[in-house]
């Protein structure tokens, strides 16, 4: 069986991180979304993968090539122009043949992979099968209404009614080759294809009760990181890791090769420290922090619930909390993120669509790639800094788009 992963469309909602990379190349819990997805497919016995690309396609090709380092086979299908999910799938038809296949949206993460649940429903009912999840809120997702035997009786792509369904499409489908007939009939309108399957009683749900998240906003990166790290129950510390003096390690920790940790430092898991990173003396790294490869953390700095994509330098005596930092970022001495409003109200993040409430009362900054910020700057809650920004004296406590 082959799998199709949709990785073509850009995402303005995930700026600044999608300014310089494809959305599935966002790094969470020590790996990219796409690598985590492909490893999950491999574990399920699926090694033949098509990736549909367009936006920042080279950031995918350069890393994964044809998949040999992961022990899988990867081919690419270019979607030009970007004409929706149906258009992407139509371009894959020549390589899919006459066998069932998996269709996976490129911005979702699940703890484990619901392939066996999908297969069970497919064997019983045939037709199309969609993984369905039960999130805390279904307002931003395609709502599904389930009947007997997990048959999908209704589907609303963009719900506006306040009476929402409990279940949502989880972005993973097992589809028969006959779906291409419907795709042609519906002029590549995938929503119309789903509706046609429902009308023919040929669309069933496979309930996935494990962890699941659709990463559509910058703060979802922190939620996804926490979701994955919560499933770690052991430590894996590479034999080349250097502990320089008195270092305290606590909780589940994944520390890769070539890491050096200075004396007096404290690491409280679950945490991930990427290869070749350096952690200076008397540093405190608290739970749910993930440092990408070749990160440098200066003396006396504190990190809490952060994701760093890698190759960044954090100056000494800094505090970075509840924040996401891109690659090749340089923060000077004493930079601090303020992650709590005085009244402890929910924090909003500014963007092209105006301010969006995060529903969170603790949130720091979102800093794109290749940003430089000088010493002793303070970044207010929900600050978002575009990729390539070079600091001046006016950014203190103000969002930078």
Q: SS3 letters for 304-324? A: ECCEEEECCEECCCCEEECCE
Q: What is the mean pLDDT of residues 31-54?
A: 93
For residue range 359-393, what is the model confidence (pLDDT) as tens digits? 888 999 999 999 999 999 999 999 999 999 987 54
CB 14 within 8 A of CB 88: no
Which of 128-132, 166-170, 366-370, 397-401 comes out lowest in average pLDDT?
397-401
**Integer Cα distance of 363 and 370 in angstroms:** 22
**Integer Cα distance of 338 and 67 in angstroms:** 41
Q: How confident is the model at residue 150 (pLDDT cuts 50, 70, 90)?
A: confident
Q: How confident is the model at residue 396 (pLDDT cuts 50, 70, 90)?
A: very low
For residue range 178-220, what is the model confidence (pLDDT) as tens digits? 999 999 999 999 888 988 898 898 889 888 888 889 898 999 9
Q: How confident is the model at residue 397 (pLDDT cuts 50, 70, 90)?
A: very low
Instruction: Say if residue 127's pLDDT is above 90.
Output: no
CB 135 within 8 A of CB 142: no
DSSP helix/strand/coil, 221: helix
- Is residue 16 reached through a cis peptide bond, with omega within 30 degrees of 0 on the bond before it? yes
Question: What angle (nearest 5°) sits at the alpha carbon of residue 231, between those of residues 260 and 175?
Answer: 120
Taking Cα atoms as reference points, which of 117, 140, 331 lies closest to residue 217?
140
Which of 66-80, 120-134, 273-287 comes out lowest in average pLDDT?
120-134
Q: How confident is the model at residue 164 (pLDDT cuts 50, 70, 90)?
A: low
**Domains (ranges, CATH) in the chain?**
2-216 (3.90.550.10), 229-385 (2.160.10.10)
Instruction: Say if residue 335's pLDDT is above 90.
Output: yes
Helices 190-199, 84-96: axis angle to 10 degrees equals: 80
Instruction: Say if residue 166's pLDDT is above 70.
Output: no
What's the mean per-residue pLDDT of the chain? 89
Taking Cα atoms as reference points, which of 112, 128, 119 lies closest to residue 212?
112
pTM of the model: 0.90
Token pair recorded at residue 17: 């991180």
Q: How confident is the model at residue 331 (pLDDT cuts 50, 70, 90)?
A: very high
Q: What is the mean pLDDT of residues 155-166?
A: 60
């Amino acid at each position: 069986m082959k799998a199709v992963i949709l990785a073509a469309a850009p995402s303005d909602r995930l700026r600044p991180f999608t300014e310089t990379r494809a959305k599935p190349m966002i790094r969470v819990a020590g790996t990219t979304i796409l690598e985590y997805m492909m490893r999950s497919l491999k574990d399920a016995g699926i090694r033949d993968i098509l990736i549909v690309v367009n936006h920042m396609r080279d950031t995918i090709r350069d890393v994964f090539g044809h998949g040999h380092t992961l022990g899988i086979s990867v081919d690419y299908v270019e979607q030009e122009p970007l004409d929706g999910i149906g258009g992407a799938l139509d371009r894959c038809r020549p390589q899919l043949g006459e066998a069932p296949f998996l269709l996976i949206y490129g911005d979702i993460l699940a703890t484990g992979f619901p392939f066996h649940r999908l297969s069970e429903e497919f064997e019983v009912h045939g037709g199309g099968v969609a993984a369905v999840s039960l999130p805390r809120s279904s307002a931003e997702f395609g709502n599904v209404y389930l009947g007997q035997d997990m048959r999908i009786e209704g589907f609303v792509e963009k719900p506006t009614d306040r009476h929402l369904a409990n279940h949502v499409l989880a972005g993973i489908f097992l589809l028969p080759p006959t779906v291409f007939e419907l795709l042609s009939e519906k002029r590549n309108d995938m929503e119309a294809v789903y509706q046609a399957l429902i009308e023919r009683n040929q669309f069933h749900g496979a309930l996935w009760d494990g962890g699941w998240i659709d990463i559509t906003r910058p703060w979802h990166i922190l939620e996804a990181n926490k979701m994955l790290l919560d499933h770690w129950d052991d430590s894996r510390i590479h034999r080349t890791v250097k502990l320089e003096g008195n270092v305290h390690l606590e909780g589940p920790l994944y520390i890769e090769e070539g890491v050096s940790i200075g004396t007096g430092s404290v690491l409280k898991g679950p945490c991930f420290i990427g290869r070749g990173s350096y952690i200076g003396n008397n540093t405190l790294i608290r739970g749910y922090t993930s440092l990408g490869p070749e990160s440098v953390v200066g003396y006396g700095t504190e990190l809490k619930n952060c994701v760093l994509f890698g190759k960044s330098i954090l100056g000494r005596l800094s505090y970075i909390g509840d924040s996401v930092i891109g690659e090749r970022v340089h923060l000077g001495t004493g930079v601090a993120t303020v992650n709590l409003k005085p009244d402890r109200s929910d924090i909003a993040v500014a963007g092209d669509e105006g301010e969006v409430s995060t529903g969170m009362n603790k949130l720091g900054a979102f800093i794109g790639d290749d940003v430089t910020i000088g010493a002793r700057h303070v970044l207010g809650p929900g600050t978002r800094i575009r990729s390539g920004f070079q600091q001046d004296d006016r950014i203190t406590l103000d969002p930078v788009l």
